[in-house]
């Protein structure tokens, strides 16, 4: 039987089509796995259902950017690419690591961080 961290890694791996050996507890959803917009929102919704986590305290806009494509988006992403700091810091978003997902699954609720 898999441990909870192994189950969370397997879940994220399957949901995002990323090899599990590329995922560690420190891996971030936005910065490392490049998941944003509706894909990030859908991942969190599926995570909540899969692990019976109350996600009512979760505001996805804190962790992921908007899905819509605006004309200046390519310029924005070029600026971010050359900015210092983590991708989340550059995009002014909070990060979600695999360890954060494991903690939420252990608690049974999302804790704003």
Q: Which range (28-42, 54-68, 82-96) has the least confidence?
A: 82-96
- Complete domains list, the chain, with CATH: 4-107 (1.10.1200.10)
Compute the average pLDDT of residues 10-17: 98
Q: What is the pLDDT of residues 58-91, one digit of tens each?
A: 999 899 887 665 565 566 556 666 666 666 666 6
Q: Model pTM?
A: 0.83
Nearest Cα to 89, choosing from 39, 27, 12, 30? 30
Q: Give the per-residue pLDDT at 5.
A: 97
Separation CA 7–CA 70 (nearest Å): 37
Q: Give the per-residue pLDDT at 1.
A: 86
């Amino acid at each position: 039987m898999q441990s909870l961290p192994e189950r969370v890694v397997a879940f994220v791996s399957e949901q995002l089509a990323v090899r599990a050996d590329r995922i560690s507890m420190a891996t971030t959803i936005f910065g490392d796995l490049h998941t944003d917009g509706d894909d990030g929102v859908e991942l969190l919704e599926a995570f909540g259902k899969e692990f019976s986590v109350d996600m009512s305290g979760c505001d996805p806009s804190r962790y992921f950017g908007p899905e819509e494509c605006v004309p200046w988006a390519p310029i924005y992403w070029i600026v971010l690419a050359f900015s210092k700091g983590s991708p989340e810091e550059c995009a002014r978003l909070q990060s979600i690591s695999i360890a954060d997902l494991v903690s939420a699954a252990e608690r049974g609720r999302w804790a704003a961080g």
